[in-house]
Amino acid sequence: MKTSLLSLLGANAALASIVIIPSTKYQEITGFGFSQAFTRASQFQAAESTLQKQALDLLFDTETGAGFSIIRNWIPSTTEHSIEPASPGSANSTPVYTWDGDDYGQVWFSTQAASYGVSTIYADAWSAPGFMKTSGNEATAGYLCGTTGHTCSTGDWKQAYADYLVQYVKFYQEEGLKITHLGFLNEPDFSPSYSQMQISDNAQEAIDFIPILYQTVQDAGLSLNLTCCDAMGWDTQSSYTDYLVKAGMEKYLDVITSHMYTGDATFELDTSLPAWISEAGDETGDGGFVTTWYSSGLVNEGMTWANKLAEGFTAADLSAYIYWEGFEINQTQSASHLVDTSGDEPLLSGIYYAFTMWSRFIRPGAYRIATSGTLTNVVTAAFQNTDDSVVVVLTNSGSSSQTAELSVSDTVDLSSVQAWVTDNDSQVVKTTVSIGTSSVSVTVPARGVVTVKFTAGGDDNEYNNNHYHYGNGRGCNSLGPVRRKTMDWRNYVCLTVYLPEVQ
């Protein structure tokens, strides 16, 4: 089709409360996820088949479920499940690896996730095998032998630990599963009575190990994103990050990972690396698994997590948010998973819906984009997906509803707009959007979230080599049979084009 572009129509004059500005991009989004670590993957695998399928759909389906796009697996260090259950004697001896093809149900779980299109698999070690640590035990506080200040009679195990982690990735490769992210620590600032390994406040042990792990991955011909350090909370991880950056670790690392138990992600870290909340949950004893959206703001309520997500992606520039676990059966004493059961049916927590308002709509590879304008008590977060659709999540933490008037600079196909609401009364249900000439308006209920999506293109649009879509009557198409306005979806501007006589 031969066209000539005559004019570029500028921004509309009408004032809107909030303008979405796709040309100003912030962080890239990797996605949202959860784990089935510590026996939960094998329980999922053993669940009755109807329930299992329902839970998988609820977690991974991008149309009807939460559309989670990241899974986080545990690299087991226990003698029963480790790939290197016994010490070869000394650090320089040849290791004996074993692989059961199951990995505590995580091979099955990863395969299921992949079948729904999940392509980000984060494998994280809570500890090195016990014989590589100063404590001699994977479940007691100790450091990796051979790191600064930590000598062991059996030698320096840094290289052996790197080899072990790389071998774990290779075993998954043999199963047809690509681990994309690898971590070697979990909560190194905490001493529980299960798998754990410490680092000092200045992250020195991590700084000693990271270049060795990096080189070992390179030498194995693997491509992997390396992470550090899955600290208990954002403040500690921020401090670790400062030491890592000062020591030149950014060139080896790909993602900074943090949990939120001792501090939420409320500010940007001082690094050029992307940052994730790689584990999150309710460990406060504030109550068990509930379906409550909002009651009094406890950590087991959905609205609490709606606020954490909104602040994390806007104030801390997060690229990913990973809840602790996805599916557990009859474990309602805990709120640290998203889907439980009621009889033989799945039961969804309020927190599940808080995630779904983000994870179903903001897809991997999206960028957060700029907005201007504010609404009382509402956090506005806007994103553009790789298919050019624009998603706006409005999180109203206040006690009265707010009406948002949204426009996308310069113009957008407003008639493509759809919106979903979650509050006390509705869970991810379609809500009304009024379409004006230059903006749309939508009401965000008190203590509620509305997700607005402007779809780019569609079945009735062609996409040609010049990157212009030819609409068939949508917002940008009203100048008659020969001269018509059409959208440039790359730049969100309305173009006037001349079409051939024959249409």
Ligand X SMILES: *[C@@H]1O[C@H](CO)[C@@H](O)[C@H](O)[C@H]1NC(C)=O
CB of 31 to ligand X, least distance (A): 8
The contact set with ligand X (CB under 6 A) reads 30, 51, 120, 180, 223-225, 254, 294-295, 329-330, 341, 343-344, 424, 446-447
For residues 180 and 377, which CB has a smaller minimum distance to ligand X in the complex?
A: 180
CB of 254 to ligand X, least distance (A): 6
User: CA–CA distance from 197 to each of 36, 113, 235, 375 (Å)?
Assistant: 21, 28, 19, 45
Q: How far is CA 366 from the centre of its chain?
A: 11
For residues 51 and 362, which CB has a smaller minimum distance to ligand X in the complex?
A: 51
Phi first, then psi, for residue 381 (nearest 5°) are: -125, 125
For residues 219 and 460, which CB has a smaller minimum distance to ligand X in the complex?
A: 219
CB of 30 to ligand X, least distance (A): 4
Q: Which phi-psi region, left, alpha or beta, contains residue 248 (left: φ > 0; alpha: ψ -120 to 50)?
A: left
User: CA–CA distance from 347 to each of 137, 190, 191, 280, 429 (Å)?
Assistant: 38, 32, 33, 20, 17
For residues 241 and 422, which CB has a smaller minimum distance to ligand X in the complex?
A: 422
CB of 142 to ligand X, least distance (A): 30
Question: Which residues of 352-501 form beta strands (DSSP E)?
Answer: 367-372, 378-384, 390-396, 402-408, 417-422, 429-430, 434-435, 440-444, 448-454, 462-463, 469-470, 483-488, 493-498
Q: Which amino acid is at 481?
A: P
For residues 65 and 364, which CB has a smaller minimum distance to ligand X in the complex?
A: 364
CB of 307 to ligand X, least distance (A): 14
For residues 94 and 296, which CB has a smaller minimum distance to ligand X in the complex?
A: 296
Look up tokens 């690509």; give the residue.
Answer: 178
CB of 181 to ligand X, least distance (A): 7
For residues 399 and 432, which CB has a smaller minimum distance to ligand X in the complex?
A: 399
Please measure the distance between the N-terminal and C-terminal CA atoms of the chain and give it in whole angstroms: 10
Q: Look at residues 478, 419, 406, 459 and name the one whose alpha carbon lies nearest to residue 19.
A: 406
| Cβ neighbour number for residue 175 with a 10 Å cutoff | 15
Tell me, what DSSP letter sits at residue 130?
G
- CB of 85 within 8 A of CB of 98? yes
CB of 51 to ligand X, least distance (A): 6
